[in-house]
Chains A and B, each alone.
Chain A
Amino acid sequence: MKKIKVLCSLLPVLLLGGCWSRTEISDLSIVMGVAVEKNDKGEIGLLTQIVVPENVGLGNGDGKGSGESYVNIYTDCKYLAEGMVRAGNQSDKEIYLSHNLILLISEEMAKEGIYPQLDYIMRNNELRLNVLLFVTENNIRDIMDVKSETFQIPATYIASLGVALGQNSGGMNKDVLEFVTNMLEKSNGSLIPIVTIDKTSEPTSLKVTSTAVFKDDKMIGKLSANETRGIMWLDDHINRGEITTELDGNIFSARINSSKTKRKIFIDKNDKVSVRADIDTELFIKRDIYGYITADNIGKVKEAFAQEIKSEIYATLKKMRDSKTDVYGFAQDLYRTDFKAWNRLEDKWDDIFKNLYVDVNINISIRETGSIDRSILKERE
C-alpha cells in the first residue's frame, strides 16, 4: 500500500517533468546573424542568416554536404519582433536566436536610431548581451552573402573581423552591453565599426576600414581607421598595430607591441575642466633602411613617433569637438570623479567639451630594432 502511495505521488513528477519546451534540433532554425535595413516602404527589411548544419564543415562534393552552409531569409516588417515571426514562417521552423553572433545595421537605419532594434535584442531571453554590432554601407543582402575560405558562414566571418579589430587596433568592436552602457552613462557618444565589401580583392572579401560615430543611438558621422585610432589612444584600447613617421627624410615604421593609457580628469575651483593622458607605448622598429637609429639620435626618433601619435589624437579630437560628440567618455570620467561638479556643469557640458584642454604626455620606449642592427645601405658607404 505504501509503495503504491509513493508511486502515485511520483506520478505527477513523471508527467510534469516531460519537457514542455522541448524542440528537436532539426526543428530549429539556428540563426547566426541578423541584419536590418530600411526598405523602400520605409519599414524594416530584416535578414536572418540561418545555418544549415548538415552542410557545415564538409568539403564540396563530399556527398551529402554539397549545398550552401547557410540560407538567408529576407522579410519586410514594421518591427523586429514581427519580422522574426515572419522569418520563422518562411523557414518552416522555429527561429532560434541563442547562437546569434552579430547585429548588422544598414547606414540609413543607423542614422534614424538603433535603440528600437536593441530593445528587441535585449528583451529576447535567448540572446546574450555580447552580440556584436556592425554598421554597413552596402546592401545587407550582398554583404550577408560574402564568405571566405576559412569562414563558410558570412555572419561568423563578420564576427571574426570584429574580434580581429581588437588585436590589430584597426577599430573598436562593440557589443550590445557596451553600447547600452554608453547610452546609460553620461557621455553621449559611441563607436561601431563599419564593415564593407572589398570588391577589389579576388574573391570578394570583407573589410573594416572605418568607424561609425553615434550620438546617443543615432549615427552622425564616420571616422577613418587612423582617426579611430586617435580615439583609441586616449581610450586605452590600443593593443597592436603599425605606426609610421618621418624624420629628416627617413621613413620609420614600427609595430606597437603594447600601449597603456592612464587618463585623469581635473576640475579646478573655477569649474575649469581639463584632461591629462599619460601614454606609455612600446615599439618594435620594423623599417629603418638607412640605419638612422643610433644611441645618439634615438631620442629624436622617439620624439617623432610621439608627435605622430599626438597628431592622430588631436586631429580626431578637433573633429569630435566640432560635432559635440563625447566618444571618449570624458563626461562619465567627470561624473565618476566628482558627481556634484557634473550636476552643476551638465547643462553647459557641450560648451565645456568644445573647449576642453587635453594634455597628452607620451612616453615611447623602443624595445628592439629587429634582427639586424645596421643597414646594408650604410655599410656600403
Chain B
Amino acid sequence: MTALKIKERDFTIAMICFLQGSTLFTIFFAPNLKWEAWIPALAGIVLTLPLIWVYSALATTFSGKSLCGINEIVFGKAAGKIISCMYIFYFIEITVLSTDNIGSFFSDYIMPETPKAVFFIMIIVVCSFAVRSGIENIMKMGFVLLAFVTVSVVVNILLLANKINLKNFLPVFSQEFIKYVQSVHTVVTMPFGEVVVFLMFTHITSGNIKRGYLLGFLIGALSILIIIIRDISVLGVAMSIVSVPSYEALRLIDISNILTRIEVLISFNMVIMSFMKISVLYCAIVEGIAEVAGTKDYKHQVWAMGVIIICFAVLGFESGYQEVEYGMSYHAFFATPFTIILPIATLITAKLRRLKTV
C-alpha cells in the first residue's frame, strides 16, 4: 500500500492551475471560429465530462495503482509497459509544447533579443527543483498560486469593463459545421483531455477522487471559458488575427491614462500557471519512467529529463507560426489516442475482464 501523500483539496486545486496553464493555447481554436471561440470551449466542457468520468472510474477501480500500473494490470506486463511508454512520450510532447509556448511568449513580447533557449532553461531548472521535492509539495503550492492568479484575473476583468462590447458575440453559428467539429476536437484533446496526466497521481491521493477530479476539471475549464469570453468581448473579430489574445486585450487597459501598461501582470499569471502545468507533467514523466523501469527512486533522472525537454523545445518549432499551425491542425489527432481512445479501451477491458484492485 502506497502512502496517501496528496490531499483531495490540493489535487483539485492543482488541476485548476493545470488547466489555467493552458490559457496561452486559446489561439489554437480561436482563428477558425473568430468571435465564436467560446462555443467550442463550452461544448468541449460538456463533451469532456464523460471522459472525466472515465478517468475517475479508472482511478477508483484500480485504487492504489497509477496509470502505468493500470496499464500493466489490464493489458499484461509487456503490452502494458509499451502503452505506458507511449503515454510518457505523450506527456513529454505536451511538456515541450507548454515550455515552448511560455518561452516563445517571453522572447516575442518581453525580451525580444534573448534567445528562446534561455527561457526554456530557466523554466526547466526551476521546475526541476520543484519536481525533485516531490509532487505533493508542488500540489501544496497550488493554493497560494491560484489565489494570486484568481485575484489578478478578477481585477483585470473589472479594469476592462469599459471596453467590453457584448455585440461582439453575434452572430452565432455562422461558420461551417466542420469548423466547429475541428475546434471542439482540439479543445477536448488539447487543454481539457490533458488532465489524464493526473491519473499518475490518483493512487497517492486521499479522499474522494471522483469529486476531486470533477470539481478540479469544472472550475479549471470554466475559468478558461471566462478568459475566452473576456477576450472576445474586448477584441471581437480582431481575436482571430492577434497572436496572444489575452495579452493583447490586457494591453488595452487604460483608466484615465493613469492605470495603464499593466499587462506585465498577465505575464506573471502565465509564468505561474505554466510552472504548475509543466511541473505536474514533468513529475508524471519521471515517475512514469521510474515505474516502467522498475526503480523506486526517480530523483536521479530529473536533470536528464530536463535536458531532453529543453533540447526538444529548442528543436521543436522555428517560429510561433509553425506552432500555431501544428496546434490548430495536427496536435488533436496525436493526442486523441491518449486522451480519449486508450482510457475508454482500458476501462472497457477492465470491466469485461472484471479486473480491479482492492
Contacts and interface: CB of A to CB of B under 8 A. Distances in A.
Interface of A: 9, 12-13, 16-17, 19-21, 122, 125, 128-130, 177, 180-181, 184-185, 335-339
B275 to A, nearest CB: 14
Contacts of B114: 20-21
B122 A21 contact: no
Given A129-B251, A336-B167, A339-B174, A181 B122 contact: no
B261 to A, nearest CB: 8
A21 B109 CA distance: 11
Given A125-B108, A125-B109, A336-B167, A181 B236 contact: yes
B113 interface: yes
Contact of A128 (B112, B236, B252): B252
B323 interface: no
A13 B306 CA distance: 14
Interface of B: 108-115, 118, 121-122, 125, 167, 170-171, 174, 235-238, 240-242, 248, 251-252, 254
Contact of B111 (A21, A181, A338, A339): A21
Given A128-B252, A185-B237, A17 B122 contact: yes
A17 B252 CA distance: 29
A336 B169 CA distance: 9
Given A21-B112, A336-B171, A177 B237 contact: no
Given A20-B118, A336-B170, A130 B237 contact: no
Mostly helix, strand, loop or mixed at chain A's interface?
Answer: helix
Contacts of A181: 236-238
26 contacts: A13-B122, A16-B118, A19-B111, A20-B114, A20-B115, A20-B118, A21-B110, A21-B112, A21-B113, A125-B109, A128-B251, A128-B252, A129-B238, A129-B242, A130-B254, A177-B235, A180-B238, A181-B238, A184-B237, A184-B241, A185-B237, A335-B171, A335-B174, A336-B167, A336-B171, A339-B171
B113 A20 contact: yes
Given A130-B254, A336-B167, A180 B174 contact: no
Contact of A125 (B112, B125, B171, B252): B112
Given A17-B122, A181-B236, A184-B238, A129 B111 contact: no
Given A125-B112, A128-B251, A128-B252, A16 B122 contact: yes
A368 to B, nearest CB: 28
A333 B310 CA distance: 49
A12 B241 contact: no
A299 B235 CA distance: 43
A129 B238 CA distance: 10
Contacts of B170: 336-337
Contacts of B113: 20-21
B112 A177 contact: no
B183 to A, nearest CB: 18
A337 B108 CA distance: 38
Contacts of A16: 118, 121-122
Given A16-B118, A20-B113, A128-B252, A177 B171 contact: no
Given A20-B113, A21-B114, A337-B171, A130 B238 contact: no
Contacts of B125: 9, 12-13
Nearest to A10: B125
Contacts of B238: 129, 177, 180-181, 184
Contacts of B254: 130
B315 to A, nearest CB: 19
A186 B264 CA distance: 34
Nearest to B254: A130
A122 B235 CA distance: 13
B236 to A, nearest CB: 6
Contact of A177 (B108, B110, B115, B252): B252
A286 B51 CA distance: 68
A335 B171 CA distance: 7
Contacts of B121: 12, 16
A336 B252 CA distance: 25
